[in-house]
Amino acid sequence: MKPPFIQFKNVKKSFGLNHVMQGINLSIYKGEITAIIGKSGCGKSVLLKHIIGLMNEDSGAILISGHNISNMKKKEKQEFRKKLSYMFQDNALFDFLNVYDNIALPLIEKSSFKKQEIKKRVMTKMDHLEIKDIEKKFPGELSGGMKKRVALARALVTEPDIVLFDEPTTGLDPIRKKNVHTMIKNYQKQFKFTGVIVSHEIPEIFEISQRIAMIDNGKIIFEGNPEQIKNNQTKKIHFFINPKE
């Protein structure tokens, strides 16, 4: 079996008396989409923030291609982050920039592309996400679904190696949800990025993910492929993915 690209080894994280991660062990493989599922507030977003380095673990280790993130030098961390993109749960769009500038920001600030090339890349992403006609609008003028798509366009515009999605389809209607899922799937096929998606969209998320991990009480209680989780008879897991039964 191929070695994991991102690996959590007994990672623990607490906020005061709230022990969010109580020894997380998780493997994420290159070129695959891994979906993280679990109840609200169980620490899924915290897990993502550990990968990108917005939070540091209390103990344990997070390895990227075998290298511990905590031991990386500043330059190494910066190089690693260049390959990463993060789509925030609440979008984190810049209120003072219009839609075009929001999407173009990572390219304007951190790439050597010329203005025309940046425009081409941004417009392509906007076209794919059906937001081409709102380029001059500000985030405050957009609906929740529109904001989500702008945030998604910003996450994908740099064509990163690893994309972390924090609930990318919350607030979207069923048709747009499907569009976003299809788009993530197609982009992943095209660019072969490694995706980690935190999602509550069950069972839709199983259609685009190669691996599923479920968190409960600060631990990973399931790790495997979508077929395995669908056939899993453990009470907790079965009821979580089939709540109507």
Interface with other proteins by CB under 8 A: which residues?
49, 52-54, 78, 81-82, 84-86, 88, 90, 92-96, 105-106, 109-110, 158
CA 32 to chain centre: 12
From the CB of 85, what's the least distance to other proteins, in Å? Answer: 7
**54/120 with CB nearer other proteins:** 54
3-state secondary structure of 93: coil
From the CB of 90, what's the least distance to other proteins, in Å? Answer: 6
From the CB of 36, what's the least distance to other proteins, in Å? Answer: 17
Tell me the C-alpha distance between 27 and 36, whole Å: 11
Structure tokens at 147: 């904001």
From the CB of 216, what's the least distance to other proteins, in Å? Answer: 25
Of 31, 39, 66, 36, the C-alpha closest to 49 is 36
**149/237 with CB nearer other proteins:** 149
**90/141 with CB nearer other proteins:** 90
Handedness of CA 201, 204, 209, 212 (dihedral sign): positive
**78/225 with CB nearer other proteins:** 78
From the CB of 91, what's the least distance to other proteins, in Å? Answer: 8
3-state secondary structure of 10: strand
**95/245 with CB nearer other proteins:** 95
From the CB of 74, what's the least distance to other proteins, in Å? Answer: 11
DSSP letter (8 states) at residue 43: S
**27/158 with CB nearer other proteins:** 158
**118/229 with CB nearer other proteins:** 118
From the CB of 62, what's the least distance to other proteins, in Å? Answer: 16
Q: Token match 């690893």: residue?
A: 162
Of 156, 147, 38, the C-alpha closest to 107 is 156
**DSSP alpha helix (H) spans, the chain:** 44-52, 74-82, 99-110, 115-128, 144-156, 174-191, 204-208, 226-231, 235-241
Of 35, 47, 34, the C-alpha closest to 8 is 47
Cα distances (Å, whole numbers) of residue 228 to 120, 213, 224, 237: 42, 11, 6, 11
